[in-house]
Amino acid sequence: MRISALAAEAELPLATVKYYLREGLLHPGIASSATQASYDESHVRRLRLIRALTGAVGLSVQQTRAILTLVDDPGDDLYITLGRAVSTLPPAVHEASGDDPDPYPRARAALEALGQVYDPQYAAVAQLEAALAATEAAGMPMSEERLLEYGRHLREIAAFDLERMPHEPHAAVEYTVLGTALYEPVLLALRRLAHQDVAAGRIAAT
């Protein structure tokens, strides 16, 4: 398959495929001569994955490359790899100054209330802190009650996810990293639809 056939297969402009090649998101084809290379099904799959991440998940090209690199070439520690993946996922958050004794007070309080263990280095802690700070700044702070309710359901979802993790290490990394990123938009869309459904149920019950 030549590059133009690849572009057609993936329904992308040729120039865009070249751009992804240049940016290192797509692995090069096998060069058969100085001006010819052949591409295969793996390139088509990769392009679909790239579009899934830049499209529905909303990642930038840089973030997408970071995620793809992790999936392609995971370390031997799933925990560290997932940590790296989460730290590249939005929202981006600047790390706290090293000398702050309690850099994440809201997140710490929340996680203690939930009885969850956590690694303060983990990017999601800073993300939670930023998200909670934003709710306060906007004048709609999360009550502890709401936090407990949300946390309880998300823990069950997380437990469900973990139960279905493949055993083989490489597959486990792919499942975890991609599952974290790809299922998030589904989660948000389902919540928005659930609001609609519950509201409709309320009205019908009147």
Interface residues for DNA in 29-58 (CB under 7 A)? Answer: 29, 31-37, 39, 54
169 binds, among DNA, a second copy, none (CB under 5 to 8 A by kind): none
Reported residue count of the chain is 206
Q: Which stretch binds a second copy (CB under 8 A): 12-20, 31-39, 49-57, 96-104?
A: 49-57
Q: Please give the single-letter amino acid code of residue 199.
A: A
Backbone angles phi, psi at 122, to 5 degrees: -65, 130
121 binds, among DNA, a second copy, none (CB under 5 to 8 A by kind): none
Location of structure tokens 């290379």: 37
Residues in 6-25 at the binding interface with DNA, rule: CB under 7 A = 13-16, 18-19, 21-22
Under the criterion CB under 8 A, does residue 113 sit at the interface with a second copy? no
Binding site residues, DNA, CB under 7 A: 2-5, 13-16, 18-19, 21-22, 28-29, 31-37, 39, 54, 60-62
